[in-house]
Amino acid sequence: MEILYKYLTLADPNVRYVVLSIVLLGGVSGAVGCFNFLQKKTLVGETVAHSMLPGVLVAFLLSGVKNPYILVTGAAISGWLSILLVDAITNHSKIKSDSALAIVLSSFFGFGIVLLTMIQSRYSGNQSGLDHYIFGSAAAMSPEDSIAFAWVSILVVLLVIAYYFNLKAIIFNPDYAQSIGINSKRVNGLISFITILSISVGIKAVGIVMMSALLIIPPTAARFWTSRLLPMLLLSGFFGAFSGWIGAFVSYAKTSMPTGPWTIVAVSCIAFASMLFAPKKGVLHQRWSKLLLKRRINEENLLKAAVQNEVRGKGRLFTRESIMQRQFFELKRWKRTINRLARKKLVLKVNTGHTLSAKGRSYGAEIDRRHKIWEVYLQRRMQMSLHLVHDEAETMEHFLTPEIEDEILSELGLCSRFNPILEIHELIPDTNLT
């Protein structure tokens, strides 16, 4: 607890600079990554990050110093060249964009590794310290780095606010954006600019290899929670910032642990948890929704079959054997379904069989009604053969909303009091309607 207290108070200046830098980096990277993610260009961040390595090394060779501003400038230039090269390959050849990204990524990074090997041999191994740009060294953050992260964060936020409508239009409806005069090249150039800017200042903290993860994983996690751009930007930024905070804490509590890798581990855990537990889009929610739908369909099929038995004069008492004449139910599924209906007071136990309650009979009659509506519609409007309409209606009856029902009845010329007791052949004449 003492370690946590000292970390939360940020009394140590070195800790303060590291935490501030990594939190700002995670937040900005997470938000910026949303634009590439929504455009299905997640590999752009990966390519740009890896392509910055030769830029850093060339800048060092030309200047002879490890000035961070010079190295970042070299990284930015190299990253921009990689994007231009990808566009050139895509536009002037038959190579698709994903292949072009892979080619540029591997080529630039391979060239960077060659340069790094040469520099290390010249400067007696790792004395140059440039290898930190591959995996990062958040512990070496200085006040100047924190100020640089702060200025970059402010600039990115201002650009996103200023061009929010244009960015939103280009991402979700590029045709509409062009029709109202939005310059798509300029907006896409803006996205590339803020991406390069975020990566170039962040590689010192988490490294080239893991910088791309901060652009990809937070938006992926945020996408499970929302389908709107603004909440996604805020969530993605929060996930990135919080992961940076966690990574810095682990590194502070255990000095042998690096900040960058633990930041990626933290954001990966957030993404995994989002994939499992997010509402609507989470795996567990979808599995549960499918289970509930399956249960509802079984219950409705049983109630409908029981109502149909009553209509055809077979009495109100029904058993599994009598229901099986209209709807197949294996023994295990029958027991589970009948027990759920009994708990809902839709079915009553009577001697050796069951009977429908008033509520259950009304529900079953409504399902029967929907079934016949679909049968009539499929035969009259879709010109489907009578022996085929039943199976199709058997599925569609469970998804008929009141709004769709009103439209279908109006189109068929049937009143809202359509009687489900009528047989299908009583509603469909011998001659086809046009």
Q: Which residue has the tokens 């752009």?
A: 44
What is the largest distance, in Å, between two alpha-carbon atoms of the chain?
97
Tell me if 338 sits within 8 A of 354, measured CB to CB.
yes
Return d(Cα 190, Cα 184) in angstroms, integer. Answer: 10
Looking at the predicted structure, is the pLDDT value of residue 239 above 90? yes
Q: Which of 68-72, 214-218, 237-241, 261-265 has the lowest mean pLDDT?
A: 68-72
Return d(Cα 7, Cα 262) in angstroms, integer. Answer: 16
Looking at the predicted structure, is the pLDDT value of residue 434 above 70? no
| 360-375: average pLDDT | 88
Q: How confident is the model at residue 424 (pLDDT cuts 50, 70, 90)?
A: very low
- Nearest CA to 17 out of 252, 226, 188, 196 is that of 252
Give whole-number Cα distances, 278 to 215, 287, 364, in Å: 20, 12, 34
Q: Which of 120-124, 196-200, 220-224 has the lowest mean pLDDT?
A: 120-124
**278-302: per-residue pLDDT in tens?**
988 999 999 999 999 999 999 999 9
Return d(Cα 173, Cα 167) in angstroms, integer. Answer: 10
Q: What is the CATH topology of the domain spanning 282-434?
A: Arc Repressor Mutant, subunit A (1.10.10)
Q: How confident is the model at residue 429 (pLDDT cuts 50, 70, 90)?
A: very low
3-state class of 349 per DSSP?
Answer: strand
Q: Which residue has the tokens 């992260």?
A: 149
Q: Higher model confidence: residue 200 or residue 355?
A: 355
What average pLDDT does the structure give for the chain? 84
Looking at the predicted structure, is the pLDDT value of residue 64 above 90? no
| 216-233: average pLDDT | 93
Return d(Cα 125, Cα 131) in angstroms, integer. Answer: 10
| 382-410: average pLDDT | 82
**304-348: per-residue pLDDT in tens?**
999 988 887 788 888 888 888 888 888 899 999 999 999 999 999
In which region does residue 275 sit, left (phi positive, over 0), alpha (psi from -120 to 50) or beta (all else)?
Answer: alpha
Looking at the predicted structure, is the pLDDT value of residue 433 above 70? no
Q: Could you tell me the residue ranges of all domains in the chain?
A: 2-279, 282-434
Q: Which of 83-97, 139-153, 243-257, 260-274 has the lowest mean pLDDT?
A: 139-153
Residue 382: predicted pLDDT = 81
Q: Could you tell me the two tokens for 53?
A: 């390595």
Give whole-number Cα distances, 271 to 196, 218, 235, 265, 268, in Å: 24, 7, 12, 10, 5
Q: Higher model confidence: residue 91 or residue 313?
A: 91
How many other CB atoms sit within 10 Å of the CB of residue 393? Answer: 22
Q: How confident is the model at residue 432 (pLDDT cuts 50, 70, 90)?
A: very low
Q: Higher model confidence: residue 418 or residue 298?
A: 298
| 96-103: average pLDDT | 87
Residue 125: predicted pLDDT = 47
Pick from 58-62, 257-261, 273-277, 376-380 the range whose average pLDDT is largest.
273-277
Share of the chain above pLDDT 70, in %: 90
Q: What is the CATH topology of the domain spanning 2-279?
A: ABC transporter involved in vitamin B12 uptake, BtuC (1.10.3470)
